[in-house]
Structure 1
Amino acid sequence: MSQQSQHDILIIGSGAAGLTAALALAEERTVLVLAKGRLDSGSTASAQGGIAAVFDAGDTFENHIRDTMVAGAGLNRLETVEFVVERAPHAIDRLSALGVPFNTEGHDLHLTREGGHSHRRIVHVNDATGLAVQQALLKAAADHPNITLLAGRSCIDLITGRHEERYSGSGRVWGVYALNEATGRVETHVARATVLASGGAGRCYLFSTAPRGATGDGIAMAWRAGARVSNMEMMQFHPTCLYNLEVKNFLITEAVRGEGGRLINPTTGKRFMPYYDERLELAPRDVVARAIDAEIKRYGLDYVHLDISHMPEDFVREHFPNIHEKLLGLGIDMTKEPIPVVPAQHYTCGGVVIDLRGRTDLPGLYAAGECTESGLHGANRLASNSLLECFVFGEAAATDILARWDEFEQPPPIRPWDESRVTDSDEEVVIKQNWTEIRRFMWNYVGIVRTTKRLERAQHRIKLLQDEVGDYYGHFRVTTDLIELRNLLQSAELIVRSALKRHESRGLHYTLDYPQTDPEARDTVLVP
């Protein structure tokens, strides 16, 4: 018999979006927050850059809106961009009140600049903003009597009308079945409303800056439950991830280029961005990533160099203390020599379709953050708009749930998880092999530059793997690895299907078969 718990509201994910929603909801209701692995193992803690907000004297909301739309190649929804940008200063004020120690100059916030921004508007805590934000939010949540934080829970599937003791085809979401990673038992967590804040699907790719757990769980669960998913082909690749075979996923922040860093071809010794874009190293991420990808392919390189050693030593150390220290530990002194970098998957711009209140298509299910497609990012996310989206939509979802509380009825009796017909797996090697295979063909066939033929090859492999994984899932007890593999494969399938539907190149989706950009921007919406 599986354990059952009931709270007013269930939140899946303990990053910026989930904890923002939890803190707002806990003023009036009891909240359960579930995290896969540790409470701080999501993407929020590794966000180096900062949070984009208009505070600069010469800056305006209109400028921030325009920069976001330009980066998003017109695919953004204007009303969403306005909604988020106008709420940014309020989000910063609330974080300051929670004790986030933002860098200041005199009485004002210190603002840095990143690619795609027309003004200095990145509010930051040195080069480790996300970590400071995560710590402040977690402390506030842990101290709140109405919030229960449970780590080590891998969510398997959303509980919907199909799982009611008296079956219903309503699509209404009542919570989630989750594996307790410590005991191996499946728990039933029931709530009147559920908020999905589970992060992106970056681990579909071989090289990614995303944490180990970014396997598209929320996107896959919402899709299986019947929610629409949009723009999954828009995968952002960060141009500069440290190239080091021992250290995976160490990001060299955009701000290194913002403060004067140059990209150099190690074979020719030449700076190469002048050949690709007049904005040089400060061009948007998709442009810079494609330029690096082109140099690597053309010259057969493993990496290119990012060099800021021409700037004064004190300046570099002061601006990038964490990166400087981390690189020194690896034998690289960025004040004297270049840093070897490669592009890596960085951000999932598509996801579960939501409106301005954070509502999904499914009654009782809300979503916020990287697992969603809100219309903010369009075809390419502007630097430092991601944390911002988490705060704004975490709060928007909470506000709507509290305003409509009387409409959320008590959950009906739910069937417990049934594992009467499965056994323990005797072939963990199958999971490992399939995981590696997916990440490799996604990198090679569905990466920075695509072709229809490559996408079709990826699709063919996904079909074969789906039969294999489905069969495995039906016969063996769930483990975190198996849950993640199933979700990873589902996310990969959505990415490839979306990419094949878009017959143009726009923003992050660049295909050699359709190099032109259509006059009208259209979302790629997949309906279950």
Structure 2
Amino acid sequence: MKTDVLVIGSGIAGLSFAIKLADARPDTSITILTKSSNDLCNTAQAQGGIAVVLDRVRDSFEQHVQDTMKAGKGLNDRKVVEMVVSQAPERLSELISWGTSFDFNGNGEFELGLEGGHSQRRIVHHRDLTGKELERKLLKKAGSLPNVEFVDRYFVIDLLKNEQDQENCTGVKMLDKVTGQQVNFNSRITFLATGGSGMIFSNTTNPSVATADGVAMAQRAGAEVKNMNFIQFHPTALYEKDKHPLFLISEAVRGFGAYVVNHKGNRFLFKTDTRGELATRDIVSEAVVKELKMSGERSAFLDCRHLNFEAFQNEFPTIVAYCHSIGLNLKTDLIPIVPAAHYQCGGIQVDEHARTSIPHLYASGECAHTGLHGANRLASNSLLEALVYSHQSYKSVIEELDKLPEPETIIRPEILRFEQEADDEIIASLRHRLNDLMTYDLIHASGKREKKEALEHLRELKEMLEDYPPFNTGTTGFYELRNMVCTAVLILDHALDFSSKMKKNLSELLA
């Protein structure tokens, strides 16, 4: 199996890259590989929208840059922020040219939403289904291009590197989920668009496919991975006991006017930040967690009862429908909420053209670390980041393709079948063990000792999966668990390193 360009993942990062490259180079074969159906991804879950400066009277690129830097605690790369923000209007125009629709007001102008951390209304959206609308239209556009092929239900196990120099990426080793066999897929360019890592955590809003596959395989291949401790928790995931993942209540609901209240019905966010419900996600999440620790309650609440229900239902039909399906009437009931792992701000380190530290390997979207987000992502900047970096990479790949030979065809295939010695229940129990360890408190509230203890447990689990053959069932479940444990180790390693650096910097300032 071979192709010119192999794209792993079918969210907005992978699809927008493939569309642009296919249009520009109709002679180039492009294969989009997914481990499930091609519409199951983080992009399809996005409710909010895309942050774009369109109102140049009240808003400006500089305001968007400042909001992004402030949300990221100043740990962003300003040049990257400026590049991404300035490209937003052009990238939006491309989406519209591909058939994507967005909401307009009565004057025929974009209806711009407001979300936490934004100083102006600048979120373009398609009700609370922006991600689904994007995914549907981009899949349709990519599917119409003759040189783009979708190959579903193959799980990528590891990256392949050139047998002679062990430097260049030459494709992937993957698992045929139907036959249980492992085969190689060779390519001139490999493009990682594998999404995030939310399923590592006890509470998450991410879909079941978000198992940190791209970060883990890139790290095993020797790629630089950076700032994995910067995990953003969304403060308003709908709390349901024993549910994993949790249903997301969009940031835009607070922008629409909903209140965050405790079990007594009292608002409490203004004690922490003068912006109240419109503070950034990290600030609201921290305030909610503190409130729950003080009260001993399982959840805080979103109060929408004072809002115009008809207008709210028109704006957020998916949220209203889901709440209704579990017995919540938003005219009279509060929505129980807890913070949940939502977005991975760190990832595979890339340059401004989405190139990783491994030649011929690119990464875009949530799996990549660009420097845009810093320590905390500003709402609705992620879809924009994916669009910009996939645009940047397609230009680079066009130049690189002509310098590369045809994909290798004589790499020894590893066509293997493992005996399933460890059953699915054992893999599931180990996964629960991982989820029990990886909590909000461990990442954002625990001290050095707690992190080190958790890291020791994770390293034992990692060693067990790598060195004890009976655990290798040769199944997707095993490989996903291996990737999640590998990435969890990175998260805590980076968290401890970050704490040490901050302590050193503080000591130097006080000296």
TM-score, structure 2 normalization: 0.95
Mapped to 1, the partners of 2:280 and 2:469 lie a distance apart of 41
Aligned-pair CA distance for 1:515: 13
Identity of paired residues, percent?
Answer: 39
Aligned-pair CA distance for 1:169: 3.3
Mapped to 1, the partners of 2:403 and 2:457 lie a distance apart of 45
Aligned to 2:412: 415
List runs of 5+ in structure 2 lacking aligned partners: none
* In the alignment, structure 1 residue 250 sits paired with structure 2 residue 251: no
Alignment of 1:225-374 (within 5 A): 225-245=221-241, 248-266=245-263, 268-374=264-370
User: Contact between 2:167 and 2:359, CA under 8 Å: does it hold in 1?
Assistant: yes
Mapped to 1, the partners of 2:274 and 2:236 lie a distance apart of 19
Aligned to 1:48: 47
Mapped to 2, the partners of 1:47 and 1:307 lie a distance apart of 22
Aligned-pair CA distance for 1:59: 1.0
Q: Which amino acid aligns with 1:62?
A: E
Q: Which amino acid aligns with 1:399?
A: K
* In the alignment, structure 1 residue 63 sits paired with structure 2 residue 63: yes
User: Contact between 1:352 and 1:372, CA under 8 Å: does it hold in 2?
Assistant: yes
Mapped to 2, the partners of 1:119 and 1:33 lie a distance apart of 37
User: Contact between 2:182 and 2:415, CA under 8 Å: does it hold in 1?
Assistant: no
User: Contact between 1:293 and 1:448, CA under 8 Å: does it hold in 2?
Assistant: no
User: Contact between 1:172 and 1:364, CA under 8 Å: does it hold in 2?
Assistant: yes
User: Contact between 2:48 and 2:125, CA under 8 Å: does it hold in 1?
Assistant: yes
Q: Which amino acid aligns with 1:35?
A: T
Aligned-pair CA distance for 1:472: 4.0
In structure 2, which of residues 12, 15, 22 is the aligned counterpart of residue 19 of structure 1? 15
Mapped to 1, the partners of 2:181 and 2:302 lie a distance apart of 48
Aligned-pair CA distance for 1:104: 0.8
Q: 1:227 to 1:484 in 2, by over 3 A?
A: same
Aligned to 1:39: 38
In structure 2, which of residues 199, 224, 247 is the aligned counterpart of residue 203 of structure 1? 199
* In the alignment, structure 1 residue 83 sits paired with structure 2 residue 55: no
Mapped to 1, the partners of 2:312 and 2:505 lie a distance apart of 40
User: Contact between 2:422 and 2:470, CA under 8 Å: does it hold in 1?
Assistant: no
Mapped to 1, the partners of 2:71 and 2:440 lie a distance apart of 25
Q: Could you give the per-residue CA deviations for residues 396-417 of structure 1, whole angstroms, max 9, x where no partner exists?
A: 1111000222222233332212
Aligned-pair CA distance for 1:170: 3.4
> Partner of 1:38: helix, strand, or coil?
coil
Aligned to 1:145: 146
Q: How many residues align?
A: 502
Alignment of 1:451-462 (within 5 A): 451-462=447-458
Q: Which amino acid aligns with 1:370?
A: E
Aligned to 2:391: 395
> Partner of 1:109: helix, strand, or coil?
coil
Mapped to 1, the partners of 2:154 and 2:54 lie a distance apart of 39
Aligned-pair CA distance for 1:31: 0.2
Aligned-pair CA distance for 1:519: 9.1
User: Contact between 1:160 and 1:172, CA under 8 Å: does it hold in 2?
Assistant: yes
Aligned to 1:173: 169
User: Contact between 2:443 and 2:495, CA under 8 Å: does it hold in 1?
Assistant: no
Mapped to 1, the partners of 2:508 and 2:228 lie a distance apart of 21
Mapped to 2, the partners of 1:504 and 1:319 lie a distance apart of 45
> Partner of 1:104: helix, strand, or coil?
coil
> Partner of 1:309: helix, strand, or coil?
coil
User: Contact between 1:354 and 1:367, CA under 8 Å: does it hold in 2?
Assistant: yes
Aligned-pair CA distance for 1:475: 7.0
Aligned to 2:134: 133
Q: Which amino acid aligns with 2:68?
A: T
Q: 1:405 to 1:40 in 2, by over 3 A?
A: same
Q: Could you give the per-residue CA deviations for residues 341-373 of structure 1, whole angstroms, max 9, x where no partner exists?
A: 111000000000000101000001000000010
Q: Which amino acid aligns with 2:39?
A: D
* In the alignment, structure 1 residue 382 sits paired with structure 2 residue 365: no
Report which stretch shifted further, 465-474 or 184-193.
Answer: 465-474
User: Contact between 1:504 and 1:517, CA under 8 Å: does it hold in 2?
Assistant: no
Aligned to 1:465: 461
User: Contact between 2:64 and 2:118, CA under 8 Å: does it hold in 1?
Assistant: yes
User: Contact between 1:11 and 1:22, CA under 8 Å: does it hold in 2?
Assistant: yes
Report which stretch shifted further, 222-231 or 105-114.
Answer: 105-114
User: Contact between 1:423 and 1:475, CA under 8 Å: does it hold in 2?
Assistant: no
> Partner of 2:5: helix, strand, or coil?
strand
> Partner of 1:500: helix, strand, or coil?
helix
